[in-house]
Amino acid sequence: MRERNKLSERQRNILRFIETYGDQKGFPPTIREIGNATGINSTSVVNYNLNKLVTAGYLERTGRSSRGIRLIKPMNPRRSLSVAAAMNTPRVPLVGQIVASEPVPIPDDAGHHISEEDLLEVSPNMLRGVDPAEVYALRVKGDSMVDAMVRNGDIVLLRKQATAKEGDMVAVWLDERGETTLKYFHPEGARVRLQPAHPTMQAIYVDAAHCHIQGRVLSVMRVNV
């Protein structure tokens, strides 16, 4: 208790917010989010207090990520330390966009050049237990999957795989057209039905031999509110 009393009220507020945010989101907040939540207008002041919490043994930090904060000593010692484990935020490559409407061509080199800025921080629970090395992200363009809660501008996380089950939402490459699309997958003998989730859009039917699965959707990140 004496250790905790050494913290300023501002530092205790920061710790409480990091705990609550981590519980709700599964990953740590940014410096700006901490400032907004605790009434601190200056990011340098937030940074100063975070460093004080590191020195006091409450946090660990890494400079490689905007969310590079790991909670190692919760304010409430009865709280589960699983929050700390969740703070090890996985990152997956955002390799481009996929069209969730009519298929359109994509460049031959799409996704081949991944920079540090293209690595997307995601909540561990969005990976559904899949190794982050097997996951990539695409930004959605179009609204044919709107009834599946996938909207224009959202980001989908996909597991890299070449097969899918009936009804899976997948990214597929149509080699005869040189096109890609995001749809529900329904194999029907020698052909595949690619079904949109939109009340006014029709299914796309393609030869199964020319429909190549690129990945199965694990989860959706809502970008546009």
Same domain, residue pair 198 and 97: yes
C-alpha separations of 10 from 52, 53, 66, 167, 197 in Å: 11, 11, 21, 50, 48
Contact between 142 and 101 under an 8 Å Cβ cutoff? The reply is yes
Reference 150, options 142, 158, 162; nearest CA is 142
Same domain, residue pair 102 and 177: yes
- Report pLDDT digits (tens) over 111-161: 445 556 678 888 888 898 899 989 999 999 999 998 888 889 999 999 999
Residues 6+ apart with CB under 8 A from 76: 19
Domain that holds residue 153: 91-221
Same domain, residue pair 78 and 102: no
Same domain, residue pair 200 and 166: yes
Catalytic site includes residue 144: yes
Give me the catalytic one of 42, 65, 101, 144.
144
Question: Which of 86, 121, 137 represents a domain boundary (last residue)?
Answer: 86
Same domain, residue pair 21 and 107: no
pLDDT at 76: 58
Same domain, residue pair 72 and 149: no
Same domain, residue pair 41 and 131: no
Same domain, residue pair 214 and 129: yes
pLDDT at 207: 96
Question: Which of 42, 57, 86 represents a domain boundary (last residue)?
Answer: 86
The residue behind tokens 């705990």 is 19
Task: For the chain, give the mean pLDDT.
Answer: 81
Give me the catalytic one of 25, 115, 183, 219.
183
Percentage of the chain lying above the pLDDT 70 cut: 78
Same domain, residue pair 164 and 179: yes
Whether the per-residue pLDDT at 2 is higher than 60: the answer is: no
User: Higher pLDDT residue, 25 or 217?
Assistant: 217
Q: Which helix (H) or strand (E) holds 72?
A: none
| Helix axis angle, 43-55 to 9-25, nearest 10° | 90
CA distance 150 to 173: 19
Secondary structure (DSSP) of 203-217: -EEEEGGGEEEEEEE
- Report pLDDT digits (tens) over 155-197: 999 999 999 999 999 999 998 888 889 999 999 999 999 999 9
CATH (domain of 50): 1.10.10.10
CA distance 158 to 196: 17
Same domain, residue pair 147 and 172: yes
State the total domains in the chain.
Answer: 2
CATH (domain of 128): 2.10.109.10
Q: Which amino acid is at 103?
A: P
Catalytic site includes residue 141: no
Whether the per-residue pLDDT at 210 is higher than 80: the answer is: yes
- Report pLDDT digits (tens) over 60-82: 886 555 567 877 776 655 444 33
Question: Which of 38, 57, 86 represents a domain boundary (last residue)?
Answer: 86
CA distance 177 to 168: 22
Is the pTM higher than 0.75? The answer reads no
Contact between 151 and 139 under an 8 Å Cβ cutoff? The reply is no
